[in-house]
Each structure stands twice: as C-alpha cells, then as structure tokens.
Chain A
Amino acid sequence: MKFTLNWLLDHLDTDKTLYEIVDKLSMIGLEVENVTDKSEKLKDFIIAKVIDCKPHPNADRLKILSVDDKSGDIHQVICGAPNAKKDLIGVFAKPGMYIPGIDLKLEVGDIRGEKSFGMMCSERELEISDEHDGIIELDQNAEIGTSFLEWSGLNDPVITIGITPNRADCLGVRGIARDLASAGFGELKSLNIKNVKGTFKSPKRFVISDELLEKKLVPVVTSRYFKNLNNSKSPKWMQQRLEAIGQRSISALVDITNYIMFDLNRPLHAYDGSKIEGDKLEIRFAKKNEKITTLNEKDYFLSNEDIIISDAEGADDLAGIMGGMRTGVSDETTDMFLEIAVFDPISVSKTGRKINLISDARYRFERGLDQDCPEWVHNYISDLVVDICGGEVSFLEKTGSGPNWSREITFETQQVINLTGVDVNEITIEKILSDLGFKINKNKEKWSVLPPPWRNDIDGSADLVEEIIRIYGYENIPESKLFSNDVIPKPAITRENKRLFSVKSLLAGRGMMECITYSFISFDKAKLFSIDDIDQLIISNPISSDLDCMRPSLFPNLLSSSSKNYKRGEESGSFFEVGPIFIDQQPEDQINKICGLRYGTTGFKDWTNSNRDYDWLDAKADAEAVIRLCGLDPSKTQLKTFDTNIYHPGRSGIFSLGKTIIATFGEIHPLILRKFNLSVNVVGFEVNIENVPLPKKVTSVKKLLKLDNLQEVKRDFSFIIDKTVLSGEITRCISSIDKDIIKEVRVFDLYEGEKLEDDKKSLGVTVFLQPKLNTFSEEDLEGYSKRIIENVSSKLGGYLRD
C-alpha cells in the first residue's frame, strides 16, 4: 500500500514529522517498507521555456536551444532530444547541479564546438520514471522560473507499507489515518460529505438473482446514474497523487474511481451508461463456460460458481474483480452508471484464484471491506464527480439482503494482562477501542464489544487484546525470563538425532564436505534410483522440470554436485549428505539416510607421491566407520556382494542384518556416471541409519573392560585357494575354530598372478591367539596351526603355500 504524506494529512490533523509518523506506523503493525522523498534531490530544478531552437552546425541530431528560466539570462543549451522544440516548457538544470538519474554533476560542456550551459531533463534523469525518449514537456500553463518540485507535487514524500492480510481496512489512506489517530498521533479529520439527493430516477438498475440472494453472497449493491458528464482530465492534484503511487492517470472518471479505492479503500465500478443493453444489470452465477472479456482485454471462460454481472447482451463484469471490456468507461463517456457493492469475499477469492486474475479490487474484496459504506461513499463520490465533470446525478438505488456485519464479543479487561503481562487501565482500554471505532456496552465485569463494519478480521477477545496492546505499544510489555527454576534442561535431541549429528562430524573428520541439497530432483533422475513406482512423489506445480519429484535417494544430488565441481576443475572431491528421502506421501515414508561420494584421487599430485585413486575400499571404510559409530560392529553384520544398477556389480557390497539392509557401498556404475556426465572414478556409500538398531539400554555405564594378562601370539599362514573363495569366508572359517582363543584374523597379503594357476590366489592371514590361563606350549600352538590348516583345507579347499 502506497500513499503520500499530504494525502495522509488530508485525513489526519497532526503536528508529527514524516519520520515520527514512519516510525509509529511500524510500531502499530503497519510495517513501513519504503519512504521516498524526492524533495532534497529535486529542489533546484526550475521550470524553463525553450525560446529558440536552431540546428547544431556540426551535428545532425543535436540542437542549440535558448532557454529562458526568468533569471534574467538566456542560457544556450545543446540538446539531442527529438522532442526539443521552440516554445517547449520543460525542466532546466544549471551547471553545478547534481542530476540524480545519471549520477552526474553537471558542468559547462563543449559539444562539437558549441558551448552548453546546462540541460533540459528527461524523466529518467530526474528519477521520476524510466522514460528517456525525450525531455519533459510540461503544460503551457506551468509558470516559468518556478520550482519544478512544487509544480509537480514531487515534494510530497511517498510511503510504502506492507499490509498484513487481516488489515484490509488499511488498504485505504483513511484507515491508516484512523490507526495513527488512535495511537495518539493527532485527530482523524471528519469527511466532508454532502447529502447529494439526486434529481432523477436512474434508467438502469441492479437485480440480484434469487440464488445469490438466498446464499447471501451479495449483501448490498447500490448504484447511481450520472448524465451530461464531461470526462476530460482529472485535476492536477489527483493526477499527481495517483502517479506518485504508481497509477497512470487515464480520465477524470477512471481517476476518481481509482482515487476513492486508495483513499477510502472502496473499489467501485463505473459503467458507461449508454453501453448497457436494456434497463437492468443482473448479478448472477455465470453459466458453465460463459465467456467474459474483461478490461485487461483477456477472455475468460467461467464456471457456475463465479459471480458475474450481465446486461441484456450478456456477462460483462466479474463481480469484485474486474469490469468488462464492452461496457467500460471511455474518454467519450457522458453517462456513467456507478456500482458500489459488497460481494462475498470467499466467492471473489475462489474465482480470482481459479482464473488467476489479480487486481486491486479483488485484493480488497477478498480481504473484506467496510460493509456499511456504500451509501455514504456514493454521496462523497457524487459530489466529487459533479465538481470535476459537471452533469447531474440520479437518486440512489439500493438492493440486496442487507449487510450483516454486526456482532458482539464478550470481553473481560483482565484478559489484557493475562495475555500480555501488561496492566492497562480500563480507561485507556476503552479509549483505544473507541478510537478504533469499536462500540462498548459495559455490563459489570464483562464488556460487550462491537467491532466496526470495516474490521471483519476481529472475531474474538484475543483480537481485542491485540488491538489494545498494539496501540498501547509493544515496547511497554515487560520481559520475563524463561530460564526458570521449574525446568531442568535435559537432552534436547533424541538419541536417533544425536547419532545423526555425530555422523556428520565423523564424515567431515574423514575429509568429506557436508552438503545440504534440495529434497526434489528431476523425475528422470529419481527414476534411475528407485525400483519402485514413484509417481506419487511427483509435485504437480514444480518450480521447474528439474525439480519435479521428491528424491527417492540421496545419490543423484551428490552425483550432480560431483559433476559440477569436477567440471569446474576440482580434480577430486568428497561429499556427504545426511537427510531425508521419500518413498511415498505418509510421514513414515520419509526416511533419513546418510550418503557419501568420493571422486578422483585421495589428494592432489604431490612430491611424496602419496596420492592414489579413490576405490571401493574407501567407500567401504566410510560405511563401516558410520555403522561402527552408530553402535553396530560391522563384523556382526552379513556382508555380500550387491547387484544393482547403481554400483559396479562386481565391486560393491551390502551390509545387512538378516533381511534388513544396513548399508551399501561400492564403485558407482559406469552407466550412472555417464548419465551425470562424470568421466572420473566415483565411489560411494549409503547407510540406512534408521535400520541400525539403537543400543537397547540407555545408560552411561560402559561394559567392563577385561584385560588379558598373558601376551597374545601371532601366527602367519599363506593359503593357496580358489579365487572364488572370499577372504571373509577364510577369516570366518578360522575364527570359528575357537572364538575364545582366536581373537582376530587379519588379511595381510593377497596375490594373484603368473606364479599361480589361473583360478587360484594366495591369501596371507595373521591369526591372533590369546592364551587364557597359561602361556601356550609349543604343542598347543602346533595344535592350533594344524586345526587352522585342516579347517581351511576341508571346508574351503585351500592348502598352505610352500
């Protein structure tokens, strides 16, 4: 909502300054977004006349102007504007002045051999508009030698405030003035309304359809007919104010209706009376697919829930949203039929939303308007129209079931302190409410409060408290500590979430960058990472087709990130994300996962040659680290190769507990890399953290540590064995011989190659044996060695290498 200071002062008698007013507006809930005051920048610009215009001898497009600013001197000005001509009255700037629109201090110039002592300005040069096709041309009655600022009205500061959806009443300047007056910033001036009776009966009238009457969707429609009007230009003050708030001046009648909308927050509709077919305008639901052409020259096809206004020829007005093309007012209009109505806000909102038509009228109607105003506004506007356009006014016509805004709210003044902690006395409460237009009936402790017809938002006692405290001042609310004795801080996050936090630190500590990426991706990419149907994850109004589906996996975004960084020249990178993926639309279908990717080498090329390519082992290590941190020993899970289209089928694995997948890892499948335009090695992992069981007991006590006193013994074995036998099978085979004694089996060597048969490999393992009561004797150790060799041989077909 924009308005000018002088416009506000039409309604408010106050001695406060602009900046006091601006501060106060924000503090009573009318947040000031912007104040534009051009007076300082434009104060030196003078209205001047071109008294001679000759061509420049050395340039075709330039002219030599003689400019008279009534200073006594005639100034020679070189000007390139196509519209520069003799007798033009415009805006003159002298050398030494600052031109805001081009950020330049003007100097005496020499343009192709001719001196220039100043310039005639365009609108853009004065920051009035973006217009720069020519210099400003003023009316011939503009007084030469006077201040352009005052003549133009640009000395009136423009204030922009953000109006919250509940404050429809402040979509008009008068409502803002009323709020300021209630807050002690002066007196609300009374409007000068004459009782215009009219001199004839209107030849046109409104009829409301039975259906609308019954549903009470059009409570009031009032109208008046004007004839013998002269629809020329509106007065200068009105044009200036409308232009200051960004509205183009069109014609007197259009300007007047616009002006009243911003002044009194009352949208009106003006028909050209001579263009209305027949003697009545019917307000009714549209027929199915009924077509309407509105003032913005667009066609809309309506449904039978949209309220329209129709003459004998058909629909030509979208009630409360926009008038029709056919019956609109033009410069030639001499007869005007003026409608002031109250329409159901929900109906207006539904229609507007459905056809996606935004207008100042709809914005106001759907927020709810003063339901009591049609009659007095008619009197106010009739006076204004006759004053500006002449002509005669008809009697007032009125139809509808009547507005029904009156309601009572039970209120106890005690509620103010209960809800705000501020003890506002009853006299102050009463004054604030009365100033805002509320009526109060006092019955003992309980008051009965009647909101004014322009406050449709007020529907309970909490609303009244808000009105009182916002005017009384939020700065008067005391502060009470919430750090109180009755609450002992306890862990704020669940154990599940604590685990997620720890994982982030772990992975960052392992050299990975934490990413947070969009929850939506493209459907095509989503499809690559889901074996299930994902149609239910499609967003019906995505911001772009790249972001039209909820992600079923964290991989796609991290792959895109890798791709982007790689293309930018980052030879290697490691990323992870801890975040949600989606399976379906229910709350339980949103699952937190942990995913990480590494591409390129472990480090940059360096003099120690320590860097190497990331491989599947790095991804496996990441996955194991996460699982371990989550409280699960990876060796207690089952590890198998994992065949999906995400990973390299021979270089990927899956950790599981029974049928529950705990984690996957591996080299990313080359076809996936191709889809993401990645021509570098990429490995990754994903942990289903929600599947990793939380340790059951919630206790700070750790399991008791038992240290063995006897020295453990290490023995190395090298087996020749079929390539198909997994190292994990061998280590498990050995461990299972005696779990108490054999503490660990560690792979230290793997050889495949020429020295062995094609289908064989050599695997070296170190076995850690822990004596319990006595140190091992040579025979004990021999015995274990024998059993180890026998077991590997009988169960897996391996034999000791020579």
Chain B
Amino acid sequence: MQDYDKLKNEVLIKIKEANSLDDLENLRVQVLGKKGSITSLMKQLGSLEPDKRREVGQILNSLQKNIIKSIDNKKSSLEETFLNKKLKNEALDITLPTRPENIGRIHPLSKTMDEVISIFAQMGFTVAEGPDIESDFYNFTALNIPQEHPARQEHDTFYFNEDENGERKVLRTHTSPVQIRTMEKLKPPLRVIVPGRTYRSDHDATHSPMFHQCEGLVIGDKLNMSHLKGCLIDFCRIFFGIDDLPVRFRPSYFPFTEPSAEVDIGCSRKSGELIIGEGDEWLEILGSGMVNPRVLQNCGLDPNEHQGFAFGMGLERVAMLKYGIPDLRPFFDSDLRWMKHYGFFPFEQTSIHQG
C-alpha cells in the first residue's frame, strides 16, 4: 500500500512540476503508456490471488483515475498559460485604420423629392409624370398662356428647331403641363404630384438653366381655397418639422389659377443666418391657386361640376432651406466634396413615421 501512495505522490509532484505540454506528455507515457509504471502494475495484477487482485485492482484503478484527472487539469492549465502567452505576443496596434471602404451618397435633391412624395402620399396623392420636351400647347396654351401673353416672356423658354409640321417644341418651363396631361388622361377626383426636371434660359447665382419643380393638382367637386390652405400648411409644417411654422398666403397671379396665392413661411435673418420658423420675416416657397376654369375647360372638364387647386414649388429651393445648403450652383456640379458633405447615406428611410 505504502508503495502505491508513494508512487502516487511521486507522480503527482512530477505532474505539478511539469513545465510544458511535452514534459507532461512524456510523463503520461512514463506512467500510463504501454510500458508505463502504472500500466506495468496493472499487467502484474493477473499474477495475484483473486482477493488480492480485487483489492490491488481497486487501488490501481483509483490511482490511475486520479493521475489522469491531474494530468488533464495540468494540461488545461498549461494550455491556458501557453495561449495567454501566445495572445500576448499577438497584440497589434488597434489604432491602425481599417481597410478603405466606400459608402456613396444619395443626392440631396433625390432625398428631398422622396420626402415631398412621402408627405403627399399620406394625403392620398400619387406621382404623375410628363416629358421634358413639351409641346407649346401643353406648356403654355392649355395653361391659359396664349402666344403673346406677357407671362410667357417671363419664362425664358428654351426652344427646339421647327419640325416638318412647323411645330416648335420647348423644354418645359414648369411641371404644370403635367396638370393638363393628367386631366386629359384620368377622371376626377384627382390628387397628383409631379416632381421633375424643368428648364429656363437663365444662369446666375440664384438661377440654373435646369432645375426641379414639384407640381400638385387636386380636383374634386367641393374643394375650395380652404383645402388648398390646409393642404399646404400641413405640408410645410411636416416638411420642415416645425409644428407651429408660420405660413402665410398672399394674392398673386398665375395664368392657370384663379384666385392665385403665393405661400410664405416665417423666418428670421439674424446676422446672415437664416432660421426657419421664427422671426418676423417671410420667405416665399410655393405658388398655388384654384385651377382656372379655362384650364378645366381646356381639359374637357366642366367648371360647374369640378373644382380644384394646384400648386408648385422649386425643389432646389426647399432642399436648400431644409438642409442649409447655401448655394444653388453646386447641385449639378458633381463635386465629390460637395456630394460627401451634403449627400445622404443610402440606408436612411424616408417616411413620415421615421421623420
């Protein structure tokens, strides 16, 4: 018995003293291998008497288990030490920059268009479209702007050469021709908005020969200026995210609406900085009015049965106001620095519920 205890203690001390996995493995082979000390003792069991064999067998079994357990424990501990050491050596400079990645941007105009559509969609509007190259009829005549009307001269129209039929197409000067196209195609009630490219022959700090408008048209039977007012006040307040944004309606003139109104929002200009929603100054952002009965007639609608309103806004202008973009010209310049700064990440959803 003494011998077994001695053996056990010797082995356990050796396990404890093992410094490496190799040492430990050697030790395991010495003790538990085919020719190991315990294995040899086990082999000798057969030569013992049955009683003795059982007794010694139990002792050896327990001894063997004990040693295996100790070796395993030691092994884990050595492995852990080794791993810790290894990991320590693997330490890197985590302030190093990551591999370059490119994330693009959505143009602020696309974002603005998306927002405008999202707000009007909640009011039951759908998007309508029309061509950029328009006929004189849709761009002017049907909108109650006859040939020699002074309002035509204010449009600075781009023209194409006369075609074989003597017709001269224009680049649409506003999105309003789509009002006509829509009324010709669809039956009232109507609620459409028309975002799109528009063109005027004007180029300076505040004008671009191409710009974007969003037209709106609502036709029903009992609609009046109070609906126009409610609709556009709601739009302005949601768009700018200011619940009590002051909105003012002012008489104006557009040949295709009667009565007509321009829409201003309240703002202040303190030391050059524009703040929307406060102060005692006004900023014009929309043109609007009740659809002129002549325009309804031009589209085959009876003004006694149908009535509605239309509006239009410059999308660059509202984008500049909402996002604080100071200058119009870079919108179409594709300058990487501008796009990175004023563009939007593509993962932001545009919707009223997300703001």
Contacts and interface: CB of A to CB of B under 8 A. Distances in A.
A747 to B, nearest CB: 25
B226 A421 contact: yes
B209 A547 contact: yes
B158 interface: yes
Interface in B145-161: 148-151, 153-154, 158-161
A550 B233 CA distance: 37
A29 interface: yes
A541 B255 CA distance: 25
Interface string B201-238: 11100000110000000100000111101110110000
Interface centre among B209, B224, B227, B231 (most CB of A within 10 A): B224
Contacts of A576: 104
B148 A366 contact: yes
Nearest to B96: A607
A506 B209 CA distance: 29
A525 to B, nearest CB: 15
B176 interface: no
Interface string B110-121: 100010011011
B104 A421 contact: no
B150 A349 contact: yes
Interface stretch (B27-35, B36-44, B52-60, B327-335): B327-335
Contacts of A518: 209-210, 332
B177 to A, nearest CB: 11
Contact of B259 (A462, A540, A587): A462
A513 B133 contact: no
Contact of A419 (B154, B193, B259): B259
Interface in A524-562: 536-544, 547, 550, 557-558, 560-561
A723 interface: no
A553 B209 CA distance: 19
A518 B249 CA distance: 33
B293 to A, nearest CB: 6
Interface in B88-106: 96-97, 99-106
A469 interface: yes
B334 A561 contact: yes
Nearest to A466: B259
A72 interface: no
Contacts of B104: 507-514, 574, 576
A404 interface: no
A519 B202 CA distance: 15
A353 B149 CA distance: 11
Interface in A595-615: 602-604, 606-608, 610-611
Contacts of A367: 150
A350 interface: yes
B334 A564 contact: yes
A509 B171 CA distance: 33
Interface in B280-339: 290, 292-294, 307, 331-336, 339
Given A540-B160, A590-B131, A514 B105 contact: yes
Nearest to B340: A513
Contact of B131 (A419, A470, A587): A587
A466 B97 CA distance: 65
Interface stretch (B64-72, B78-86, B342-350): B342-350
Contacts of B127: 492-494, 497
Contacts of A539: 158-160, 171
A519 B210 contact: yes
B137 to A, nearest CB: 13
A492 B130 CA distance: 16
Contact of B253 (A164, A346, A543, A580): A164
Interface in A564-596: 564-565, 568, 570, 573-576, 579-580, 582, 585-587, 589-590
A447 B144 CA distance: 26
Contacts of B253: 29, 164-167
A129 interface: no
A574 B230 CA distance: 43
A469 B160 CA distance: 41
A774 interface: no
B77 interface: no
Contacts of B133: 550, 582, 585-587, 589-590
Contacts of A124: none
A141 interface: no
A457 B302 CA distance: 22
B339 A474 contact: no
Given A353-B153, A501-B114, A603-B102, A489 B122 contact: yes
A489 B122 CA distance: 5
Contacts of B105: 508, 513-514
A383 interface: no
B290 A29 contact: no
Contact of B100 (A28, A482, A519, A603): A603
Contacts of B290: 419, 462
A259 interface: no
A505 interface: yes
A419 B307 contact: yes
A199 interface: no
Contact of B307 (A418, A508, A580): A418
A489 B199 CA distance: 31
A489 B124 contact: yes
A565 B251 contact: no
A538 to B, nearest CB: 6
A516 B110 contact: yes
Which of the listed residues B127, B163, B229 has the most CB atoms from chain A within 10 Å of its own CB?
B229
B234 A483 contact: yes
Contacts of B125: 492
Given A466-B259, A477-B249, A480-B230, A511 B158 contact: no
Interface string A366-406: 11000000000000000000000000000000000000000
A342 to B, nearest CB: 16
A359 interface: no
Contacts of A470: 251, 259
A492 B293 CA distance: 27
A415 B121 CA distance: 30
Contact of B229 (A477, A490, A560): A477
Contacts of A602: 100, 102
Given A491-B126, A561-B333, A586-B131, 12 more contacts: A420-B259, A463-B258, A469-B225, A497-B127, A509-B347, A511-B102, A513-B339, A519-B199, A520-B209, A543-B202, A544-B203, A585-B169
Nearest first, the 9 A-B pairs at minimum CB distance are A603-B100, A511-B102, A487-B124, A29-B251, A421-B226, A164-B253, A561-B334, A466-B259, A492-B121
28 contacts: A31-B250, A31-B252, A164-B253, A367-B150, A419-B224, A462-B259, A462-B293, A474-B250, A483-B234, A489-B122, A492-B121, A509-B346, A511-B101, A513-B339, A517-B334, A519-B132, A540-B159, A541-B159, A542-B158, A543-B202, A544-B203, A557-B334, A564-B334, A565-B336, A585-B169, A606-B97, A606-B100, A607-B96
Interface of A: 26-29, 31, 164-167, 345-346, 349-350, 353, 366-367, 417-422, 460, 462-463, 465-466, 469-470, 474-475, 477-484, 487-494, 497, 501, 504-520, 536-544, 547, 550, 557-558, 560-561, 564-565, 568, 570, 573-576, 579-580, 582, 585-587, 589-590, 602-604, 606-608, 610-611
